[in-house]
């Protein structure tokens, strides 16, 4: 017998907030529209999705939220004050939401990648990429799977006692 949708009860277990954009300008060259666009996508988007799942996670007494921040949210970035501010905001949001939802059995963590070979990074000027790589102890860009493995771990039951943390994946 086919199951009807009326008897189907969906469950949400995991939210990974991974949207992000950047616009490279020094503070004196950046206009307010550039500032707003990056903060709207990178920070406000994370807030809106987290707020949307919070009632579901509270009610079911479980859930995992993983926010993709950036190493630049921890240390700043030349020609990227909007990106750094947004990702620093994601870190603060992560810590606050972890405190709000922790009593309901929900884990909330952030991953802070360093420069990682993604479409967004491929679009950067070669000299900027070279500058970023020169600062990495391992001497190379990260790969998307380096970040994905950590996200997978944080979504697992093995990470059940980790919340409110920011974990760097930056090659040192």
pLDDT tens across 86-104, in order?
999 999 999 999 999 999 9
Q: Dig out the tokens for 125 from the structure.
A: 């000027």
Domains of the chain (ranges plus CATH)? 13-169 (3.40.50.720)
- 110-124 pLDDT, tens per residue? 999 999 999 888 888
The answer to whether residue 104 is catalytic is no
pTM of the model: 0.91
Q: How does the average pLDDT of the chain come out, rounded?
A: 93
Per the CB < 8 A criterion, the answer to whether 86 and 44 are in contact is no
pLDDT higher than threshold 80 for residue 6: no
pLDDT band at 8 (very low <50, low <70, confident <90, very high): low
List 45, 83, 108, 109, catalytic entry: 83
- 33-73 pLDDT, tens per residue? 999 999 999 999 999 999 999 999 999 999 999 999 999 99
- Quick one: average pLDDT of 68-88? 94
pLDDT value of position 1: 45
State the SS3 of the chain: CCCCHHHCCCCCCEEEECCCCCCCCCCCCCCHHHHHHHHHHHHHHHHHHHHHHHHHHHHHCCEEEEEECCCHHHHCCCCCHHHHHHHHHHHHHHHHHHHHHHHHCEEEEEEEECCECCHHHHCCCHHHHHHHHHCCCCCCCECHHHHHHHHHHHHCHHHCCCCCCEEEECCC
Per the CB < 8 A criterion, the answer to whether 80 and 24 are in contact is yes
Residue bearing the bigger pLDDT, 5 or 42: 42
pLDDT band at 77 (very low <50, low <70, confident <90, very high): confident
In the chain the first and final C-alpha atoms are separated, in Å, by 56
């Amino acid at each position: 017998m086919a199951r009807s949708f009326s008897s189907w009860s969906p469950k949400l277990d995991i939210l990974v907030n991974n949207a992000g954009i950047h616009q490279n300008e020094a503070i004196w060259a950046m206009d307010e529209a550039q500032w707003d666009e990056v903060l709207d996508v990178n920070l406000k988007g994370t807030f809106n999705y987290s707020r949307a799942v919070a009632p579901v996670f509270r009610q079911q007494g479980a859930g995992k939220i993983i926010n993709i921040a950036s190493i630049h949210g921890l240390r700043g970035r030349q020609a990227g004050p909007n990106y750094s501010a947004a990702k620093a905001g994601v870190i603060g949001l992560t810590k606050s939401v972890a405190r709000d939802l922790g009593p309901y059995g929900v884990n909330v963590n952030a991953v802070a990648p360093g420069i990682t070979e993604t479409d967004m990074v491929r679009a950067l000027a070669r000299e900027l990429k070279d500058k970023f790589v020169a600062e990495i102890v391992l001497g190379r860009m990260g790969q998307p799977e380096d970040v994905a493995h950590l996200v997978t771990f944080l979504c697992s039951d093995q990470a059940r006692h980790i919340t409110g943390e920011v974990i760097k994946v930056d090659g040192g």
